[in-house]
Chains A and B, each alone.
Chain A
Amino acid sequence: MDIYAQNILDHYQRPRHRGKMEKADVSFQELNRSCGDDITVFVKMKAGLIADISFEGDGCAISVAMTSILSEEMIGKSKEYVLSLGLDDLQKLLGIRISPRRSKCALISLRAIQGALNSL
């Protein structure tokens, strides 16, 4: 039940930075078709660092909450830093262990943000 802790439910039900960003430098869609997850992120850069992130789409609680959390936590970070992140770092951010059966859910938003940064 850990993965449905209050923090995650809060981000799932009241996601931060949800919506299309009109003046984004880049956007990127990441699909997880076998689960039915579909997340598009919008990123704005300033002086080599992430200035703003927003996202659109649907997914399970884990994927939406993780996207919401990353949209806050990644602001001010460099492209190199974000590209270096993996599942372990997400678990640290969430403060819980993510079982292998849900790792795809947690990773979709990171892959989307990394995809966006890679297409800059």
Chain B
Amino acid sequence: MLDYRLYFPLLNRVYEGKPLQYFDNAATTPKPQVVIDAVNEYYNLYNANVHRGPNFLSEEATNLYESSRSKVAAFIGADREEIIFTSGATFGFNLVARSWGEQNLKKGDVIALSRAEHHANLVPWLQLKEKIGIVIEYIDLNDEGTLSADSLDKIFAQPKLRLIAITLASNVLGQYYNLEPLIKRAKIKNIITVVDAAQAIAHRSLDVKILGADFVSFSGHKLFAPSGIGVLYGRKELLEKMPSFLGGGNMISEVLCQSFKPAVLPNKFEAGTPNIEGAIALGTAIDFIKKIGWQEIISREENLSKYFIQAIKKLDFVKVLGGEEGRLPVFALSLTGFHPHDAADLLGERGIIVRAGHHCAQPIHDYFKVKASLRASLSFYNTTEEIDNFIVALSEIKEIFKN
């Protein structure tokens, strides 16, 4: 079987004699050599600002940057004008909250979030609540992490419901949500939908037109691309009506002493010099994923998930948060007898990289009454042997804390 780990230089690292085993893909994925090369190549050969300067360097850099936009558009089934390069998923939610939200929402309007949201899709809305007094309601979850149908009915019955911001997959429960029915229901009532695809993007193919959402935001660094680059998809007719967000160079068509006219899409929302090398390398990361293929990624990850769930059942001091079905290979574990932070530290000493704490999703931990969890998040390149190592290491660590 092909060892995909060989594509990632990071995974060659040896820590104090122990090979690196990377189970923290939900935090950020390692970068394949081709992506690292794309960043280097930009600086080695181009190093020019985009959309500026009548010289060949700028023209070449602009072509690469814009062709990457086209790759992203094709990757998620959007038009290129609907692809806004951002610094990451967080930026996208802030853009929608501030630009669409402030223009369209008023005091007393209701927006709904799920209990599983990452802080990135929570705090911008809480800030809007502080600023203009919107009301935030939550869609409850069932024990296995799926959306509660009763709760959804109650949310949709709210007459002032204007927007639903919801994740496509939980970064804690690993649950992947089929949002199409919810979005169809929202559309009938003219409710805007904002989807957090940050976790889902590296695990499942995404077609924004089939999904039907008004906005979708994700980060490059969870998709094998560098950090500091992300994508906001927005439906063209909405983006066109929205006021620009940050002001500066590139996002304008005309600036006078007392006024300005914003540029057309997508530049309208890209103020200042963008993360050019990041955008180009994101295009390379997409090529990398396409070369491997979704079928291969999904089938490998499903095998890993099944194997992980069975293997972890051998440990009586570990409980997986959420259900067993319809999930990504992201596992938040609650531990009995020792703290996730100690476990993560000691796993790290064995070369196994995981995360501990609330993973920027405090409300879901409160909801499930877990103070902190240990998260092992896998990707297609991980192996069942690595899962075995993880189980052994966790058992050994448990022994240290035995009374």
Contacts and interface: CB of A to CB of B under 8 A. Distances in A.
Interface stretch (A19-27, A34-42, A71-79): A34-42
A38 B400 contact: no
A58 B371 contact: yes
A105 interface: yes
Given A9-B401, A33-B362, A36-B358, A61 B342 contact: yes
Interface residues of B, number: 18
Interface string A1-43: 1011000010011000000000000000000011111100000
Interface in A31-82: 33-38, 58-62
Interface centre among B346, B372, B400, B401 (most CB of A within 10 A): B372
A61 B403 contact: no
A38 B365 CA distance: 14
A60 B401 CA distance: 11
B345 A102 contact: yes
Given A36-B339, A105-B341, A4 B400 contact: yes
A35 B341 contact: yes
B357 interface: yes
Contact of B357 (A12, A36, A38): A36
B338 interface: yes
Contacts of B358: 33-34, 36
Contacts, number: 46
Interface string B346-358: 1001000000111
B340 interface: yes
Interface residues of A, number: 20
Candidate in A3, A9, A35, A101 with the most chain B CB atoms within 10 angstroms: A35
B351 to A, nearest CB: 14
Nearest to A1: B349
Contacts of B356: 35-36
Contact of A35 (B338, B372, B401): B372
A36 B401 CA distance: 18
A61 B357 contact: no
B339 to A, nearest CB: 4
A16 to B, nearest CB: 16
Contacts of A34: 357-358
Given A9-B400, A58-B371, A60-B339, A4 B346 contact: yes
Interface in A100-117: 101-102, 105
A79 to B, nearest CB: 30
Given A4-B400, A13-B401, A36 B346 contact: no
B339 A61 contact: yes
A59 B356 CA distance: 12
Nearest to B371: A36
A61 B372 CA distance: 14
B357 A101 contact: no
Closest 4 CB pairs of A and B: A36-B372, A36-B371, A60-B339, A60-B341
Interface of B: 338-342, 345-346, 349, 356-358, 362, 365, 371-372, 400-401, 403
14 contacts: A1-B349, A4-B400, A9-B400, A13-B403, A33-B358, A34-B358, A35-B341, A36-B372, A38-B371, A60-B340, A60-B341, A61-B338, A61-B342, A105-B341
Given A61-B339, A101-B345, 12 more contacts: A3-B345, A4-B346, A12-B401, A33-B362, A36-B340, A36-B371, A37-B341, A58-B371, A60-B340, A61-B401, A62-B341, A105-B341
